[in-house]
Amino acid sequence: MDLSSLRPAKGAVKNKKRVGRGQGSGNGTTAGKGNKGQQARSGYKRPIMEGGQIPVYRRLPKFGFTPVQRKSFATVNLSQIAQWIEDGAVEKEITLLDLKSLLHASNADYFKVLGNGELTSAVTITAHAFSKSAEEKITAAGGQIVKAFRTLEEASKVREHSLEDAALKPKAKLVKRVKKSSKP
């Protein structure tokens, strides 16, 4: 036995199906395309064929698009914060946990303070983002702003620190490692 005597297994190699070559072949006349209609004409091509699975244009919703990396922000105005202080719901410091409970937000939410309204008392507010007008009004009232970097959900996964400390700790930046070439 040598390479010249090797042959494909019986039935493994088939001839190409030749359509439109007479009725005796079984694929004459309409050549397997059925009768009339757009699909029977030349030049017809299905828009996207994914082998029978639901194509991408049917899997995606018709209107709008939500990116995978979307951050959901729960917003709070200074007028709401002033109302909470009047009602005694919060004291001189507002933490992420206070915002979560008062706004009925989830642990995965980011919190943003907006500048609608006025503050009369000095308050220390911890949130992920502040509008420029909110920053100015808080500092003008003698308060402080503390920027958090992690959501409560992310902070709960950091084991070395408490929940509040972990939320204030910046996330580590991913560094791309570049291979050094050996050639000069």
pLDDT tens readout for residues 91-101: 889 999 999 99
129-130 sheet: strands from edge to edge: 73-77, 110-114, 129-130
Q: Is pTM, for the whole model, over 0.75?
A: no
Strand partners, 74: 111
Query: Among the residues of 54-131, which ranges form H helices?
Result: 56-59, 78-87, 96-103
Query: First and final CA of the chain: distance in angstroms?
Result: 52
- Give me the residue spans of the domains in the chain: 73-168
CA dihedral 151→154→156→157, nearest 10 degrees, is -170
Residues 56, 47: Cα–Cα separation, whole Å: 11
Nearest to 115 by CA among 134, 130, 96, 102: 134
At residue 23's C-alpha, the angle toward residues 40 and 41, to 5°, is 10
Do the Cβ atoms of 168 and 152 come closer than 8 Å?
no
The torsion of the CA quartet 111, 115, 121, 126, rounded to 10 degrees, works out to 20
Residue-wise pLDDT tens digits, 32-65: 888 999 989 999 887 788 888 998 888 888 888 7
Distance CA 179, CA 111 (A): 40
CATH architecture of 73-168: Ribosomal Protein L15; Chain: K; domain 2 (3.100)
Kindly give the parts of the chain with pLDDT less than 50. Answer: none
Q: How far apart are CA 163 and CA 167, in angstroms?
A: 6
Mean residue pLDDT of the chain comes to 89
